[in-house]
Amino acid sequence: MKKLRFGLPAIALATAGLFPSSLRLPGRCVFLNIALATAGLFPAYTLFSQKTSVKDIDTRVEALLAKMTLDEKIGQLHQIPGDISTGTDVAKDDMLSQIKAGKVGSVLSHTNFENKIVMQRTAIGSRLGIPLIFGFDVIHGYKTIFPIPLAQAASWDMALIERIERIAAEEASADGQNWTFSPMVDVARDPRWGRVMEGAGEDPYLGSRVAEARVRGFQGDDLSKNNTLAACTKHFAGYGFAEAGRDYNTVDMSEQRLREIVLPPFKAAADAGSATFMNAFNVLNGVPASMDKHLVTDILRGEWGWKGMVVSDWNSFGETIVHGAASDEMDASAKCLLAGSDMDMAGSTFQKGLKRALESGRVTQAQIDEAVRRVLRLKFAVGLFDDPFRYLDPKRRTATLEKPEYRLVAREAAAKSMVLLKNDGGLLPLRPEGPFKKIAIVGPYADSRANKDYMSFWTLGLGDVSQYDTTKVITPAMALKSSLEKEGFEVTITEICLNADCTEKDLSVAMKATAAAELVIVCVGERGIDCGESRSVSDINLKHNQEIIMKIASRGNKPTVMALFNSRPMTFPWAMENIPAIVVCWQPGFEAGNALADIVTGAVNPSGKLPITFPRSVGQVPLYYNALSTGRPQQQQGQMWTSGYLDAPATPAYPFGYGLSYTTFSYSDIRLNKTQLKPGETLEVSITVTNTGKYAGEEVVQLYVRDLSADIARPIKELKGFEKIKLDTYGNQVVTFKLTEKDLSYWNNDLKFKADPGKFKVFVGGNSRDVKEAEFELVR
């Protein structure tokens, strides 16, 4: 494409309307832009094409806002869905006419690259030429699919998580996306909830560190660079506490719990610079989150001083009517705008009701203008006013998407996310010099290409199905057979129980397939398509006779490895007691098979730790490590007049922070630099960790505290720090954590954040259960 240089010929061509429709005007062509703007043939915003400061952006926003009609302002608050959700064809549907009329500010979930260019060209050809911002749910990778977010959290590796999101941002931005609806930072304690896979688990401290890493990864060090994405922290707030684990359901909790458990990861994301936030679907204490002024204005914008833009979740403004909290679109528009929410995702509630709300006096022009300012500031921040096509470069797209080095990071991430729950007798890793030569690999997830297995709902791709090509997945069978045969093993593959539905015929096939084997690897779990939004379940046990397959495989005490492909904590009581080796693989993404092969062969020593508790049965749910002590804690199952069960232990199958290694680690006693901590001082908690096994390995050293005498009851343990270390065989390292009065503070029922003088316990260990402990005192 030829570039026209500024000067009289260019001005003449512009006046004559002879510029090609695809012309991109570089920001440095100031005089040309002035001429075109003066001629009325190019948007006035190009008068301000140089990169500017926040103050200058505000000046540009006010200049543009002064020129906008009410309809154009409401249009900037309107986001419409794209092809991945609706199959929309811009050539046939009404999308382009809406954009041309200035009635659209953003498009979400559009995959067709050429369409995005057409849409953006249409937007800058509108009266004021305000560019569109394209949003997309980049949940665990874009073109290169990584492990689900819950799995990434199991790595406890913040640098790795940041790298993952940096790659996701590189790919998505090269494909024309400017904004991701991620990270999801909802703390969740109920594995029945389908979206538990999208967050970092049950703990607010770990969730906060993961939130920071994700925001940094998406936004980089300069949001105006064209290889970044504006982050959108969601769902504000309480969504992870939906009653009964049913998606979109009611949330009711004290504000003390809200501030203690739910809000910390959101605050961390805000402090990390998250450009936008998203409302939650749920009601919180009776108020739909989209119209909750206390959440959005009082806390987010007021207490935290956050300056960004808030977008609804899909039609969550309109759903306030269904909740019974608004009478119609006018009422919903007024209540959501007055709460501090800005952009209406996919619902058209503002389009239908906001003008009427203004005319009736429910809202003011100044309140609408403030929401529009936030949208425009975001567009300036990501550089769309400097070059509307900066994310729509075909050459960059070709050069960036699906680089081979991205797959290497996906493989590393998948392996580091896997959690070894059990390894009796050191069954794993499999070594050529070991006693087993004939290996059978069976199960519904041994070699599946269906149902987005090893991925999730978020990689569904309804529009451009090539967005997530399942042929790019390395299945367990593909990688394990190759890796093990290179080591001299004989390997057979038998895929049975399609769709995880094990019939009588499948059981017969499993019997024959495993008869001659000396060791069996059984790949079980849940379908990838059952992982994500609107994927809640009432039963978290392995379904459809999958445990029967393991009983068949392990008959006669045959050594058996269970590889679990899951998006949530699951229960498998028979396997827990009888299968000697269990690996939680999660939904690991494109590199599923290679990562599992790395674990099974010992090329990678497992180091993952659970970011969420695995219960023994669904009847224990919700079950989480940082619970309050009851007045009658149960010491053993069936003990009367205590808080427990007659028919099962009250303890989990596997606790928060748990995960084994092929090596072993010992912890020394805790050493404190003082036993009394005064305000302004720092307590140093040190421990020596030693690798006592025969393999080099990584360990996540975890620090917990307990307040023994606060003004209100406090959790039996709270995570306050962690460090992932790598030790050679027989190597050791001193790990030191630092605690201050702030780390011991909490929100009381008067909503004061404070620490109480008195005794505390500090715990250090490899999980929340198996710890060393010491005691200190906070004094005034």
Active site residues: 313
CA angle (619 as vertex; 616, 621 as ends), nearest 5: 80
Residue 256: helix, strand or coil by DSSP?
A: helix
- Closest by Cα among 600, 592, 175, 220 to 413: 592
Residue 261, both tokens: 């458990």
Cα separation, 255 vs 740, in Å, equals: 25
Q: Are 760 and 778 in contact (CB under 8 A)?
A: yes
Q: Which strand (E) or helix (H) includes residue 423? A: strand 419-423
Pairing relationship of beta strands 746-747 and 753-754 according to DSSP bridges: antiparallel
The one-letter amino acid at 102? G
Q: Are 367 and 338 in contact (CB under 8 A)?
A: yes
Cα separation, 745 vs 203, in Å, equals: 16
614 pairs with which residues across the strands? 654
The one-letter amino acid at 308? G
Phi, psi dihedral angles at 371 (to 5 degrees): -65, -40
Cα separation, 21 vs 118, in Å, equals: 10
Pairing relationship of beta strands 106-108 and 78-81 according to DSSP bridges: parallel
Cα separation, 236 vs 660, in Å, equals: 35
CA atoms within 13 A on the CB side of 70: 14
Q: Are 11 and 32 in contact (CB under 8 A)?
A: yes
Helix axes 158-174, 204-219, angle to 10 degrees: 40
Pairing relationship of beta strands 490-495 and 287-288 according to DSSP bridges: unpaired
Q: Are 383 and 226 in contact (CB under 8 A)?
A: yes
Look-up of token digits 């959690």: 419
Strands (E), 554-608: 560-565, 581-584
Q: Are 692 and 665 in contact (CB under 8 A)?
A: yes
Q: Are 68 and 40 in contact (CB under 8 A)?
A: no
Residue 26: helix, strand or coil by DSSP?
A: coil
> How many secondary structure helices (H) and strands (E) does the chain include?
24, 27
From residue 289, give the alpha-carbon distance in Å to each of 155, 304, 339, 368, 393: 31, 17, 9, 19, 38
Residue 654, both tokens: 């596997």
Cα separation, 344 vs 356, in Å, equals: 16
